[in-house]
Amino acid sequence: MQEHSIQNQIRIAISENRLGACFRVNVGQAWTGERIERNSDGSITIYKPRPFKSGLPEGFSDLFVISPGGFASFLEVKSEKGRPTKQQVNFLEQMQNLGARAGMVRSVSDALNLLRS
């Protein structure tokens, strides 16, 4: 099963079990430039392009949950064979050191166990 599908199942389970407010977090890179033109075929041309990163820091977890009482949890969702990046491992460790629930999950069961721990 793909990570996106697992994330969606986890989000539904968090809602159904009233475990808190869950937010899907996107971190990524995009392009901007001096001038952007839309072409007739639907594509775009960027003049003097340069990349920029948007969103939260690299390694931020896929799902961020605020549980009743204001407790923060961070869930890094991976497929059966998926492996976390060094940045993701570091982020989870930093959040755990700050007292938050944080970990890698591969299923709804993993996520619910982490949130209830």
What are the chain's domains? 3-25+60-116 (3.40.1350.10), 27-55 (no CATH)
pLDDT (average), residues 30-36: 91
pLDDT band at 26 (very low <50, low <70, confident <90, very high): confident
pLDDT (average), residues 41-47: 94
In a 13 Å sphere around the CA of 84, the CA atoms on its Cβ side amount to 20
Listed range (3-17, 31-45, 50-64) with the worst mean pLDDT: 50-64
Mean per-residue pLDDT of the chain? 93
CA dist., res. 104 & res. 115, Å (int)? 12
Inform me whether the pLDDT recorded for 56 exceeds 90.
no
CA dist., res. 85 & res. 56, Å (int)? 16
Which pLDDT score, from 0 to 100, does residue 9 have?
A: 97
The count of other CB atoms within 10 Å of the CB of residue 4 is: 12
pTM, to two decimals: 0.79
CA dist., res. 28 & res. 55, Å (int)? 7
Inform me whether the pLDDT recorded for 21 exceeds 90.
yes
The distance of Cα 93 from the centroid of its chain, to the nearest Å, equals 16
CA dist., res. 71 & res. 31, Å (int)? 36
Which pLDDT score, from 0 to 100, does residue 29 have?
A: 81
Plot region of 111 (φ>0 → left; ψ -120 to 50 → alpha; else → beta): alpha
